[in-house]
Amino acid sequence: MEISKEARHESPLAGALAGACGSDAVHISEPMKEHTTFRIGGPADYFVTPHTAGEIRELSGIARQYGADVYIMGNGSNLLVSDQGIRGVVIRLGREFGAVRVEGTTIFAQAGALLSGVAAAALEAELTGFEFAAGIPGTVGGACLMNAGAYGGEMKQVLKSVQVLTQQGEIKVRGPEEMGLSYRHSAFMEDGSVILEAEIGLSKGKAEDIKAVMEDLKKRRQEKQPLDLPSAGSTFRRPEGYFAGKLIMDAGLAGLSCGGARVSEKHCGFIVNTGGATASDVKTLIEDVRSRVLDAYGVELFPEIRFLGDFA
């Protein structure tokens, strides 16, 4: 049950969280629509922006002590948050965790660094191999968690190691064999580790060639994706042997809507917020699309986006 904003302000948990990272970093009843690319989502009880790994460890411990759930997020580019919001503590790794440094052909990027920023650093250092990620509107942490990819590239191809904070409060370095990376999946989804930093291995290239590839991919995105409307990117995983967007288009579902949510006519693999869409609108439309595609082609679609909060 949602508690009032006043009650949250006065709660011992609020005071403990503020004691761990400062009152300016703790926001009460924070509207999540301000922090997701879908521009959808009710209030999070507690929304915290820590500055250090030590603060993340302390915040997680405090939340457990008070019996509150903890959710880690980055840029909110792959999330659908419930209209009722999130009961518990949301820890956002944003610009406070956005450092990027280049050492030879290796880039070290903190979890809150935007993929576009890492791509820009790679271009400046004339390093190739990260062009595929330049237009993905997410952070390094989320990209590692989901093994993000586009246009034939994915994080699995470039990740050398990931530094994580385990549920036991230890900072560990995981190598490729421990990440469990596969299509839009990683072992971190199961073990609850918080990704802190990624070591990305690239190769020397020529700036003009790297820039040309980035510009080409940018043009292709602009031509084929509904970038003018809020969304969470590709709504569905790619079913083996098929393309989700084509199945949806062939089923005649382009433009299908529910409230303010609509299947994009420009790219049917995207569900967009045409204005005022609720999480319930999106969830209902997702299930409608899944049902119709299954009936038409016998292919089951699974969401690629992550759901936070109560959708019961």
The answer to whether position 236 is within a domain reads: yes
The tens digit of pLDDT for each residue in 142-194 reads: 999 999 999 999 999 999 999 999 988 899 999 999 999 999 899 999 888 99
The type of residue at 133 is: A
- Mean pLDDT along residues 308-312: 89
- What pLDDT is attached to residue 11? 85
At residue 197, does pLDDT exceed 80? yes
Q: Which of 94, 95, 92, 90 is nearest to 42 (CA)?
A: 90
Residues 232 and 260 in one domain: yes
Measuring CA to CA, how many Å separate 33 from each of 127, 138, 215, 242? 36, 16, 30, 32
Residues 56 and 155 in one domain: no
Residues 127 and 232 in one domain: no
What is the count of structural domains for the chain?
3
- Mean pLDDT along residues 68-72: 94
CATH number where 302 lies: 3.90.78.10
Residue where a domain stops, chosen among 52, 75, 92:
92
CATH number where 120 lies: 3.30.465.10
Residues 183 and 108 in one domain: yes
CATH number where 37 lies: 3.30.43.10
Residues 34 and 74 in one domain: yes
- What pLDDT is attached to residue 9? 59
Residue where a domain stops, chosen among 22, 57, 92:
92
Residues 109 and 189 in one domain: yes
CA distance 267 to 270: 6
The answer to whether position 235 is within a domain reads: yes
CA distance 31 to 3: 14
The answer to whether position 82 is within a domain reads: yes
Task: Kindly report the pTM of this predicted structure.
Answer: 0.90
- What pLDDT is attached to residue 95? 86
Residues 205 and 241 in one domain: no
- Mean pLDDT along residues 205-230: 95
- Secondary structure (H, E, C), 129-195: CCHHHCCCCCEHHHHHHHCCEECCEEHHHCEEEEEEECCCCCEEEECHHHHCCECCECCHHHHCCEE
- What pLDDT is attached to residue 167? 87
Residues 73 and 139 in one domain: no
The answer to whether position 217 is within a domain reads: no
The answer to whether position 219 is within a domain reads: no
- Mean pLDDT along residues 297-307: 96
Span between the terminal Cα atoms of the chain, in Å: 13
The answer to whether position 218 is within a domain reads: no
- Residues annotated as catalytic (active site), given as ranges: 184, 234, 304
Residues 198 and 257 in one domain: no
The phi, psi pair for 172, rounded to 5°, reads: -125, 155
The answer to whether position 215 is within a domain reads: no
At residue 24, does pLDDT exceed 60? yes
Residues 85 and 101 in one domain: no
The tens digit of pLDDT for each residue in 124-141 reads: 999 999 999 999 999 999
Find the farthest-apart pair of alpha carbons in the chain and give their distance in angstroms, rounded. 57
The type of residue at 7 is: A
> Residue 155 sits in which domain range?
96-209
Residues 19 and 87 in one domain: yes
The answer to whether position 214 is within a domain reads: no
Residues 85 and 106 in one domain: no
Residue where a domain stops, chosen among 58, 92, 126:
92
